[in-house]
Amino acid sequence: MRRPHYILLPANSAFIALTLLLAFFLNLLPWGLSPIAPDFVALVLVFWCIYQPRKVGITIAFCLGLLMDVHDSTLLGQHALAYTFLAYTAIMIHRRVLWFSPLTQALHVLPLLLLTQLLQLVVQMIIHGKFPGWEFFYSSMVSTLLWPLLCWLLLAPQRRAVNRDENRPI
């Protein structure tokens, strides 16, 4: 039996900004050169582009990408290009993805994250000329595994309160 679809409350713009800022700070943590460290900015960006495409879009993705470029000391525009592509493709498929459960949504998010990393890899190979290895793509796999948890956490403030008398949402 399928779970019922509930109408969510509108997302607060301050909450969206706070989650994007928190994701940026999580990316700033010293994960080292671990290939399994997820790109939290990309993950939260995809989430908001799917669930709130009118509030989070390509401009925010570009600005976050520039911040990541400055932090990582990479070619200015590398992350900006990748995040802009990610936001555009997430907005393009957001209506389709919303029909599915978070587990199935993860299967739609995985190709987006992989294509984003592939775009970053192409830019890195043009600049540096060396292939970092297939471990480079582990980050997308870990991010995809985090998708259901992220959906549960970020949708929690938007869920309606449960009416205890009727055991259903108000």
Alpha helices in the chain (DSSP H): 13-28, 40-51, 58-72, 78-97, 102-128, 138-155
Q: Does 133 reside within a domain?
A: yes
87-119: pLDDT as tens digits: 999 999 999 999 999 999 999 999 999 999 999
Percent of the chain with pLDDT strictly greater than 90? 71
Q: Does 2 reside within a domain?
A: no
Taking residues 3-20, report their average pLDDT.
Answer: 84
- Which has more pLDDT, 136 or 59? 59
Tokens of 31: 């994960």
Residues in the chain: 170
Return the biggest CA–CA distance within the chain: 65
Vertex 23, ends 89 and 12: CA angle to 5°? 80
Q: From residue 164, give the alpha-carbon distance in Å to each of 13, 44, 92, 137.
A: 29, 32, 39, 46
Residue 128: its pLDDT value, please?
87
Residue 12: its pLDDT value, please?
93
The pLDDT of residue 1 is above 80: no
Tokens of 169: 């949402």
Residue 103: its pLDDT value, please?
95
Structural domain including 50 reads 13-27+34-159
108-147: pLDDT as tens digits: 999 999 999 999 999 999 998 888 888 889 999 999 999 9
How many domains are contained in the chain? 1
Q: Residues 97, 116, 31, 20: is their CA dihedral positive or negative?
A: negative
Q: Does 167 reside within a domain?
A: no
Give the whole-angstrom CA distance, residue 22 versus residue 70: 17
Rg (CA), the chain: 17
Q: Does 144 reside within a domain?
A: yes
In this structure, the number of other CB atoms found within 10 A of the CB of residue 137 comes to: 15
Give the whole-angstrom CA distance, residue 2 versus residue 47: 22
- Which has more pLDDT, 146 or 163? 146
17-50: pLDDT as tens digits: 999 999 999 999 987 668 889 999 999 999 999 9
User: What global pTM score does this model have?
Assistant: 0.89
